């Protein structure tokens, strides 16, 4: 596109054309410009390794924009980001005079007021002039001189911006012809009356500036500027902290290091940052967090209800709801909310509101529970990220190495032997039979049912369930219910022949599934009566040693590198577990190999699945952010 074409489009307020013109002069100096229109506000984002002096750059940009005589832009907002020297970054906002001069040239000295239709409320006639050269219907029988002088004085009074009011807000007051001391109810009344009058007169193109002014004032009045209680120490380093949130470095080309809400540039969460200041005495936690967000450019409203944190913001500010929620979630997930009095928050509810405060969309998320230093350094803690993520797989690897070394395999063979005998005994106990497992390769079993055994095991399971329920632990409750149902079926519904088959099967089978049960129990705390916070480490090591021994044995048998373990340690070899299954219950060797390999594979999948679940539970906020960034 030619320069003249860019110039014509820029005079019409086209943000892309304005950025193209500015880049022609600033890019050779290493500064790249990105522009975006927001009604009467022009936002400029400047990015460069280094930046010219702020005063010089501000003056150049203001003169350049005013020279274009763009009558539809009255506010210039500039965000300058120096990637190599963050100290040079700055943000400013200014009022453009070119647009006002251009409008005044087309506007008569005495601006004609709008006629209000009073038929609906029966009230007296009211007039309100407009600064943009509209051509409303004139009011007859009015002294033009008096009206002109009075109106000129009124316009002058309202046009004088308060030094404490941001330029954008002052421009909104001028647009609505409302005094800065007016209440929100007065602003709403003026807005809706002016809007209705313009619509009746068919001047729909003039409604949009009114809507912008009304929303600007409403946001300004409902969201007061940040107070120094919490945000004082944050304002100076908000650029650095938000660059951390966006993914880590100061090279991000977004204002304050944070992409626009909902933009696709969301990155992974940062490493933990410096703790934020605590609450001032008597300060509301929700208000403190709201101040924190506003200090980072998020016009959010925050409320705290029980263990829920509600955050609301205007829907027009959000490009992509999912990514916008991911960004605010990343900010909160990486902050320690305890100094803000929000340490008990478990649920985050993010809501986008339209201009009438109606919910456009809402998303509810579970806040991650931040592990403490005490938990990460306490080996007995089930929330220790290092023991769950690193020590557990290390114990499994050690179990493999112990099986690979013949000397340790021989020395620790008694562990395998005892778990093998417990495999026989658990089948007998769940079937209501008496059994005594001995660590010498023998288990005494009474083949007759015993109501005493059934009742004793059931009482133990009931105590397990009661303890879990009292302490709020679901894992022992689920385990107790599952075993009680299995015990009932095996004791009263299973035949004697099936019991004999399962008793023989449970020896090697127990080395697989009992070992797996012991290993996955590493992640789940038991009730106080069965506490095993530290004992679980040697238990997992012994279970891993036993599990991998049988796992690799049956893989080798399937490949023809080993033989099925027929026979037994004591007595007649024909009474071995594999012999009983083949001779007494007509199992084929292929059935033995397929069945034990299937159980080994299922146990391995269960082991991997539980480990993956624990990792996800501890880092689900990172997984959710990754999904929003790359998949959603």
Q: How far apart are CA 436 and CA 428, in angstroms?
A: 9
What residue has token string 């039979």? 433
Query: Is the separation of the CB atoms in 70 and 103 below 8 Å?
Result: no
DSSP string, 524-587: SPPPGGG--TTTHHHHHHHHHHHHHHHHHHHHHHHTTSS----S-SSS-GGGSHHHIIIIIT--
- pLDDT tens per residue across span 452-489: 999 999 999 999 999 888 888 888 899 999 999 999 99
Does the pLDDT value for residue 272 go beyond 50? no
Determine phi and psi for 504, rounding to 5 degrees.
-70, -40
Does the pLDDT value for residue 10 go beyond 70? yes
Helices (H), 180-206: 184-200
What CATH number has the domain spanning 228-272+286-370? 3.30.300
Does the pLDDT value for residue 597 go beyond 50? yes
SS3 label, residue 345: coil
578 Cβ contact partners less than 8 Å away, ≥ 6 residues apart: 508, 564, 565, 566, 567, 592
Q: What pLDDT is attached to residue 231?
A: 36
Please state the rounded mean pLDDT for residues 524-544: 87
431 Cβ contact partners less than 8 Å away, ≥ 6 residues apart: 449, 487, 490, 491, 494, 499, 502
Q: pTM for the whole thing? A: 0.52
Tokens of 160: 């004088």
Does the pLDDT value for residue 237 go beyond 70? no
Determine phi and psi for 35, rounding to 5 degrees.
-125, 155
Does the pLDDT value for residue 381 go beyond 80? yes
- pLDDT tens per residue across span 316-338: 655 566 666 777 777 776 666 66
Mean pLDDT of the chain: 75
Q: Which CATH number fits domain 3-102: 3.30.70.2960, 1.10.287.130, 3.40.50.720, 3.40.1830.10?
A: 3.30.70.2960
Q: How far is CA 92 from the centre of its chain?
A: 31
Q: What pLDDT is attached to residue 29?
A: 85
Q: What pLDDT is attached to residue 135?
A: 39
Does the pLDDT value for residue 91 go beyond 90? no
- pLDDT tens per residue across span 301-311: 888 877 788 88
Q: How far apart are CA 485 and CA 492, in angstroms?
A: 11
Q: How far apart are CA 230 and CA 470, in angstroms?
A: 41
Structural domain spans, the chain: 3-102, 107-222, 228-272+286-370, 401-623
């Amino acid at each position: 596109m030619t320069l003249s074409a860019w110039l014509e489009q820029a005079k019409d307020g086209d943000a892309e054309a304005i950025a193209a013109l500015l880049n022609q002069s600033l890019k050779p100096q290493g500064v790249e410009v990105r522009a975006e229109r927001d009604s009467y506000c022009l936002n400029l984002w400047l990015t460069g390794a280094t930046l010219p002096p702020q005063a010089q750059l501000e003056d150049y940009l203001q003169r350049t924009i005013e020279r274009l005589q763009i009558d539809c832009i009255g506010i210039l907002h500039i965000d300058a980001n120096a990637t190599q020297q963050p100290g040079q970054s700055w943000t400013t906002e200014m009022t453009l005079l070119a647009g006002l001069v251009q409008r005044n040239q087309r506007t008569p000295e005495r601006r004609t007021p709008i006629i209000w239709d009073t038929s609906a409320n029966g009230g007296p006639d009211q007039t309100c002039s407009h600064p943009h050269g509209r051509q409303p219907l004139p009011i007859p029988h009015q002294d033009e001189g008096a009206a002109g002088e009075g109106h000129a004085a009124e316009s002058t009074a309202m046009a004088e911006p308060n030094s404490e009011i941001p330029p954008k807000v002052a421009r909104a007051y001028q647009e609505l012809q409302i005094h800065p001391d007016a209440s929100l109810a007065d602003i709403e009344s003026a807005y809706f009356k002016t809007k209705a009058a313009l619509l009746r007169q068919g001047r729909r193109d003039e409604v949009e500036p009114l809507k912008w002014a009304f929303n600007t004032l409403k946001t300004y009045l409902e969201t007061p500027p940040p107070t120094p209680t919490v945000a004082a120490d944050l304002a100076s380093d908000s650029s650095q902290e938000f660059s951390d949130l966006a993914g880590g470095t100061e090279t991000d080309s977004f204002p304050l290091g944070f992409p626009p809400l909902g933009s696709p540039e969301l990155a992974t969460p940062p490493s933990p940052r410096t703790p934020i200041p605590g609450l001032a005495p008597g300060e509301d936690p929700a208000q403190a967090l709201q101040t924190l967000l506003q200090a980072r450019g998020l016009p959010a409203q925050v409320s705290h209800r029980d263990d829920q944190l509600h955050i609301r913001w205007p829907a027009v500010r959000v490009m992509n709801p999912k990514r916008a929620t991911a960004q605010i979630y990343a900010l909160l997930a990486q902050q320690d909310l305890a100094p803000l009095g929000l340490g008990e928050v478990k649920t985050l509810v993010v809501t986008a509101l339209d201009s009438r405060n109606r919910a456009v969309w809402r998303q509810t998320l579970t806040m991650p529970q931040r592990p403490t230093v005490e938990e990460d350094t306490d080996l007995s803690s089930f929330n220790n990220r290092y023991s769950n993520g690193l020590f557990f797989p290390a114990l499994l690897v050690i179990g493999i190495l112990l099986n690979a070394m013949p000397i340790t395999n021989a020395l620790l063979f008694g562990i395998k032997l005892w778990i093998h005998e417990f495999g026989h005994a658990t089948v007998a106990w769940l079937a209501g039979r008496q059994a005594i497992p001995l660590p010498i390769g023998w288990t005494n079993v009474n083949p007759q049912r015993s109501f005493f055994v059934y009742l004793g095991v059931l009482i133990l399971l009931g105590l397990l369930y009661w303890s879990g329920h009292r302490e709020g632990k679901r894992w022992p409750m689920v385990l107790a219910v599952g075993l009680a149902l299995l015990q009932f079926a095996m004791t009263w519904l299973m035949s004697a022949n099936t019991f004999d088959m399962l008793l023989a099967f449970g020896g090697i089978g127990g080395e697989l599934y009992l070992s797996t049960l012991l290993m996955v129990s590493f992640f789940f705390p038991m009730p106080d009566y069965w506490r095993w916070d530290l004992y679980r480490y040697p238990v997992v090591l012994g279970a891993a040693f036993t599990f991998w021994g049988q796992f690799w044995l049956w893989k080798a048998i399937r490949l023809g590198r080993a033989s099925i373990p027929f026979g037994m340690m004591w007595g007649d070899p024909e009474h071995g577990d594999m012999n009983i299954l083949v001779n007494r219950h007509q199992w084929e060797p292929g059935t033995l190999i397929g069945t034990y390999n299937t159980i080994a594979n299922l146990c391995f999948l269960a082991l991997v699945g539980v480990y993956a679940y624990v990792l996800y539970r501890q880092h689900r906020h990172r997984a959710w952010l990754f999904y929003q960034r790359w998949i959603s």
